């Protein structure tokens, strides 16, 4: 009898432990959705989305999938619940779609947060199911457990939504960092598309800004520079005996640039949505103050601030007029081609001193015209020096008193030079009374009366001078160059530049230029300096027309310098398309390890 009691007690104890273990396993598999909502685009999640906070019974290494109304999302963003997500600023923790295959995440999650791209409709109800794979390690295993939970959520009623005829959109987050309110600031973004998403980008693109109340306001835009690559990847065997690739290395792609005008308050970030994929879309014309007349190269460009005339032969700056002061245009016309903008240039005796402004319809030419951006671009070999290629591009915008100038020069064969220069701007001397620039060595702005300088006096500055300015307070006209980018490089040798500097000089004219390597201005002016094969030189300037301030003539230059050297920061966010594979292939030059073999680490636990 006693033995039977003991056996019964043992059975009861085993049953209790078994039940407890079963209960523990059930608890282990529990997944809770502690909160869930459908949200509008905000800088931290810049698309229409769902956002959910989850709770696991025990910390675990996980993978997460989500389905909306039964349709699985291709990609879900996963975050640690103990890390605060700032929704008013762009996200800086991101994982690309290739992370599904390669991201070895050994972190333990207890209260993860997820979000996903959902184009919801106001007031509609959605069922969102979340499935979590619980893992012992980063690698999947047959022992992994799947747990799931679902919730119904109703979309907000407020806000305005864009036309349903546009089937897709991309998102752009613009961030202002200089503490300056931006009003109608030009922004340029490169966009990629699958060919079946595009009928005519110029007709289809619409851009809207997301307002603080989540309503949408369409903004003027312009599509240009469309490129198409339609070749399919060949999935046949790489070589005899090797397996066939199951996924392509690339897919045909259409790319295009879009320019638009953006309003972003100081020290904030704002979301702009770029809608596309509507083959029934009609062409839309936006009206701005940017106007173009004539034919390249001799274009005439107007906006509310200035009138610009380009030289009829070379396409270089020929005359500049501030519309507030039409009686005092700026020009040169004192020697040879007479243009305002002369460079890049090179002097390789006994050849003539060659400037890009010397072109006479013997250069390549291209223009883009539209309401947001007008571009004039000329490029080709230098006259009399065919071993040197160069280009000059001007970009004009509506509503601003500046435009961009980008110049490039490439040396294709080593040449013995007396001069190699860039960034030269020349005016008739009588039009200018003063020059001003920031001197980095003395840490102050230098101003100089250039009217009374002796001819061929040089005012030298550092090579990387941040800005130059010419002005005349009597006539009320000023012109400035704000240096945005400056780069010298050499592919096949070290750069060989003799004492580079920038300078201002006077004669029948007054001009500034950057002397990259100019022995012509040195003590021993007949010594030649090689411009090495493979050398490349690039400059990007903002040229500004302004009225001199009564007290500090160059004050407008300082204000625009701060804005132009701190452009809006751009972040493009795109939905992960269903055709994107969940694995990734890389093609290596040689056989060997990839670096991912047997990767296992617990350092993030």
472-493 pLDDT per residue, tens: 999 999 999 999 999 999 999 9
Mean per-residue pLDDT for 518-544? 96
pLDDT of residue 596: 67
On whether the CB atoms of residues 440 and 289 are closer than 8 A, the answer is no
Cα–Cα dist 54/31, whole Å: 7
Cα–Cα dist 393/376, whole Å: 6
600 pLDDT tier (thresholds 50, 70, 90): low
* Cα dihedral across residues 335, 339, 340, 342: positive or negative: negative
On whether the CB atoms of residues 392 and 356 are closer than 8 A, the answer is yes
Q: Which residues pair with 365 in a beta bridge?
A: 378
On whether the CB atoms of residues 506 and 457 are closer than 8 A, the answer is yes
Pairing of strands 458-461, 306-310: unpaired
Cα–Cα dist 216/169, whole Å: 13
pLDDT of residue 18: 36
pLDDT of residue 99: 61
Phi and psi (nearest 5°) for 261?
Answer: -105, 130
583 pLDDT tier (thresholds 50, 70, 90): confident
Using one digit for the tens of pLDDT, what is the confidence trace for 44-67?
999 999 999 999 999 998 989 999
Using one digit for the tens of pLDDT, what is the confidence trace for 62-85?
989 999 999 999 889 988 877 777
pLDDT of residue 5: 38
% pLDDT > 90, the chain: 78
Q: Which residues pair with 175 in a beta bridge?
A: 269, 569
pLDDT of residue 13: 39
Q: Is the pLDDT of residue 560 over 60?
A: yes
* Closest residue by Cα to residue 416 from 520, 499, 536: 520
Mean per-residue pLDDT for 329-356? 96
Average pLDDT score over the chain: 90
* Closest residue by Cα to residue 198 from 283, 256, 250, 249: 256
* Closest residue by Cα to residue 293 from 282, 272, 307, 304: 307
Q: Is the pLDDT of residue 262 over 70?
A: yes
Q: Give start and end residues of each alpha helix (H) in 29-105.
A: 99-102
Q: Is the pLDDT of residue 10 over 70?
A: no
The terminus-to-terminus CA distance of the chain in angstroms comes to 54
Q: Is the pLDDT of residue 14 over 80?
A: no
Range with the lowest mean pLDDT among 152-156, 158-162, 200-204, 501-505? Answer: 158-162
DSSP 310-335: E-TTT-SEEEEEETT-TT--B---SS
pLDDT of residue 388: 98
Mean per-residue pLDDT for 435-439? 97
104 pLDDT tier (thresholds 50, 70, 90): low
For residue 26, the SS3 value is helix
Range with the lowest mean pLDDT among 273-277, 335-339, 407-411, 588-592? Answer: 588-592
499: left (phi over 0), alpha (psi -120 to 50) or beta: left
Burial letters 200-237, b for 16+ CB under 10 A, else e: ebeebbbbbbbeeebebeebbbbbbeeeeeeeeeeeee
Q: Is the pLDDT of residue 159 over 80?
A: no
Question: How large is the greatest C-alpha to C-alpha distance in the chain, in angstroms?
Answer: 127
For residue 340, the SS3 value is coil
374 pLDDT tier (thresholds 50, 70, 90): very high
Instruction: Please identify which residue in the block is written with the tokens 């407890």.
Output: 20
Mean per-residue pLDDT for 38-42? 97
pLDDT of residue 179: 97
Q: Is the pLDDT of residue 248 over 50?
A: yes
Mean per-residue pLDDT for 430-447? 96
29 pLDDT tier (thresholds 50, 70, 90): low
Cα–Cα dist 448/432, whole Å: 11
Phi and psi (nearest 5°) for 197?
Answer: -90, -5
On whether the CB atoms of residues 206 and 166 are closer than 8 A, the answer is yes
Using one digit for the tens of pLDDT, what is the confidence trace for 311-322?
999 999 999 999
Domains by residue range for the chain, with CATH: 26-154 (2.60.40), 168-285 (2.60.40), 291-566 (2.70.98)
Phi and psi (nearest 5°) for 218?
Answer: -70, 140
Mean per-residue pLDDT for 267-292? 97
Between 138 and 44, residue with greater pLDDT: 44
pLDDT of residue 594: 75
297 pLDDT tier (thresholds 50, 70, 90): very high
Using one digit for the tens of pLDDT, what is the confidence trace for 355-365?
999 999 999 99
Range with the lowest mean pLDDT among 80-84, 107-111, 172-176? Answer: 80-84
* Closest residue by Cα to residue 323 from 414, 401, 243: 401
């Amino acid at each position: 009898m006693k033995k039977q009691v003991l056996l019964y007690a043992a059975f009861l104890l085993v049953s209790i432990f078994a039940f407890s273990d079963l209960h523990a396993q059930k608890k282990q598999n529990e997944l809770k959705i502690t909160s869930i909502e459908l949200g509008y685009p905000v800088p931290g999640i810049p698309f229409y989305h769902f956002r959910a906070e989850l709770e696991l019974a025990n910390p675990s290494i996980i993978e997460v999938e989500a389905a909306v109304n039964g349709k699985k999302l291709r990609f879900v963003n996963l975050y640690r619940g103990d890390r605060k997500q700032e929704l008013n600023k762009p996200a800086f923790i991101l994982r690309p779609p290739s992370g599904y295959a390669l991201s070895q995440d050994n972190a333990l999650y207890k209260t993860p947060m997820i979000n996903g791209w959902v184009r919801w409709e106001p007031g509609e109800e959605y069922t969102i199911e979340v499935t979590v794979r619980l893992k012992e390690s980063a690698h999947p295993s047959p022992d992994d457990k799947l747990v799931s939970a679902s919730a119904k959520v109703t979309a907000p009623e407020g806000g305005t939504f864009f036309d349903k005829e546009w089937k897709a959109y991309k998102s752009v987050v613009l961030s202002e960092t200089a503490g300056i309110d931006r009003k109608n600031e030009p922004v340029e973004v490169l966009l990629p598309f699958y060919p079946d998403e595009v009928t005519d980008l110029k007709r289809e693109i619409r851009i809207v800004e997301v307002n603080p109340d989540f309503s949408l306001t369409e903004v003027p835009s312009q599509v240009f520079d469309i490129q198409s690559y339609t070749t399919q990847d060949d999935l046949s065997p790489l070589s005899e005996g090797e397996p066939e690739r199951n996924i392509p290395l690339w897919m045909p792609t259409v790319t295009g640039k879009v320019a638009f005008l953006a309003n972003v308050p100081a020290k904030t970030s704002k979301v702009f949505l770029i809608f596309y994929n509507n083959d029934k879309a009609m062409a839309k014309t936006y009206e701005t103050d940017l106007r173009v007349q004539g034919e390249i190269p001799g274009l005439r460009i107007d906006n509310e601030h200035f009138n610009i005339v380009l030289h009829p032969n070379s396409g270089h700056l020929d005359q500049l007029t501030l519309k507030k002061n039409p009686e005092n245009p700026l020009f040169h016309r004192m020697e040879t081609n007479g243009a305002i903008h002369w460079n890049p240039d090179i002097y390789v005796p006994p050849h003539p001193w060659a400037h890009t402004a010397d072109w006479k319809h013997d250069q390549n030419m291209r223009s883009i015209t539209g309401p947001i951006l007008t571009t004039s671009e000329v490029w080709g070999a230098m006259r009399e020096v065919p071993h040197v290629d160069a280009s000059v591009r001007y970009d004009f915008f509506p509503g601003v008193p500046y435009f961009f100038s980008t110049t490039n020069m490439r040396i294709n064969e080593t040449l013995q030079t007396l001069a190699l220069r860039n960034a030269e701007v020349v005016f008739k001397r009588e039009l200018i009374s003063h020059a001003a620039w920031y001197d980095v060595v003395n840490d102050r702005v230098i101003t100089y009366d250039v009217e009374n300088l002796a001819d061929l006096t040089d005012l030298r500055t550092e090579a990387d001078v941040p800005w130059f300015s010419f002005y005349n307070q009597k006539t009320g006209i000023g012109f400035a160059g704000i240096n945005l980018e400056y780069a010298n490089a050499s592919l096949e040798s070290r750069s060989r530049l003799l004492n580079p500097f920038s300078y201002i000089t006077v004669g029948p004219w007054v001009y500034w230029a950057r002397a990259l390597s100019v022995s012509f201005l040195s003590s021993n002016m007949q010594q030649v300096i090689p411009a090495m094969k493979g050398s490349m030189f690039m400059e990007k300037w903002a040229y500004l027309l302004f009225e001199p301030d009564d007290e500090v003539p160059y004050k407008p230059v300082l204000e625009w310098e701060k804005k132009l050297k701190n452009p809006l920061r751009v972040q493009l966010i795109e939905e992960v398309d269903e055709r994107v594979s969940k694995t990734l292939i890389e093609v290596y030059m040689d056989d060997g390890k990839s670096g991912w073999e047997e990767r296992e680490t617990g350092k993030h636990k």
